Amino acid sequence: MTRRFSWFNATSLTFGFAFLYLPMVILIIYSFNKSKLVTVWAGFSTKWYGELMRNEAFLDAAWVTLKVALVSSTLATVLGTMAAIALVRGGRFFGRTLFSGMIYAPLVMPDVIMGLSLLLLFIAIGLERGVFTIILAHTTFSMCYVSVVVSSRLASFDRSLEEAALDLGCTPFDAFRSVTLPIIAPAVISGWLLAFTLSLDDLVIASFTSGPSSTTLPIKVFSAVRLGVSPEINALSTILIVLVSTGVISASLISKRAIIRQRREERAAMAQ
């Protein structure tokens, strides 16, 4: 029995989406405001995008953020995948419970505690804070998310496919590279994207582990907002919204095409 779409559901859905996306729409509109006052509309203008492109502080912070996100997400993906393999396929080994707890602890640990503990660690070993320490910090907490995503895929993986590859003469490494990795690749890619997004968005941990010459974009925006919201921040936020929306739409289209292609192949196989 199908349920009718009532006016209550439509109203609730409308208010819910308005609460989520109306502030973004207002931000995008005021990024084209000619006035320097973000709350007073003075006409359409794109000059703040030009001002943003000439703002060396924001550009340097964006480059640091992108560099940290790329490196830390890649390291987190490699380490998180290895940890997932150890947890799912390692069986029972000495310290498995402790190892599992250490993997999942950062998922529920407050960012302030983690940032402070990493700061004390870097001070204790005499490591100068900068881009390298931010990369270490982001790798530490994001690899846990990668491990969870890849573990869920490995838990449902059919081991008989690897066994068949081994019976055909593959070494364990070749079987993993040729059989296991392509099958779990969607989970690995999802983990990398999640780690990349978490690194781009992080403010608290980066504020503890960054140095004077390694300011990330969230830290720069937060510092600028404390002095008042400028139209340049609206322009920057609009660019980020467009980039994220483009990425989400592209990923959805690619996923949809892959599903359609898979269904066509299944129908062709059944027809034969």
The pLDDT tens digits of the residues spanning 188-237 come to 888 898 899 889 888 899 999 988 878 888 888 888 887 777 788 888 88
Mean pLDDT across 67-89: 90
Predicted pLDDT at 1:
45
Predicted pLDDT at 246:
84
Distances (CA, A) of 230 to 28, 37, 221: 13, 7, 10
The rounded radius of gyration (Å) of the Cα atoms in the chain is 24
Average pLDDT over the chain reads: 84
**Domain CATH number, residue 101:** 1.10.3720.10
Taking a C-beta distance cutoff of 8 angstroms, is the pair 77, 146 a contact? yes
Residue 193 lies in a domain: yes
Whether 264 has a pLDDT exceeding 50, the answer reads: yes
Q: Which of 18-27, 75-84, 178-187, 193-202 has the lowest mean pLDDT?
A: 178-187
Instruction: Express each pLDDT in 136-173 by its tens digit.
Output: 999 998 999 999 888 888 888 777 877 788 887 788 77
Q: Which of 7-16, 47-56, 128-137, 159-168 has the lowest mean pLDDT?
A: 159-168
Predicted pLDDT at 51:
84
Residue 23 lies in a domain: no
Mean pLDDT across 59-87: 90
Residue 272 lies in a domain: no
Q: What percent of the chain has pLDDT over 90?
A: 15
Residue 136 lies in a domain: yes
Instruction: Express each pLDDT in 93-117 by its tens digit.
Output: 777 778 788 888 888 888 899 999 9
Taking a C-beta distance cutoff of 8 angstroms, is the pair 129, 216 a contact? no
Q: Helices 181-201 and 131-155, interaxial angle, to 10°? A: 140
pLDDT: which is higher, 256 or 23? 23
Q: How many domains, in total, are found in the chain?
A: 1
Mean pLDDT across 28-57: 83
Residue 220 lies in a domain: yes
**Which structural domain range is residue 187 located in?**
45-233
Predicted pLDDT at 156:
81
Backbone angles phi, psi at 94, to 5 degrees: -65, 125
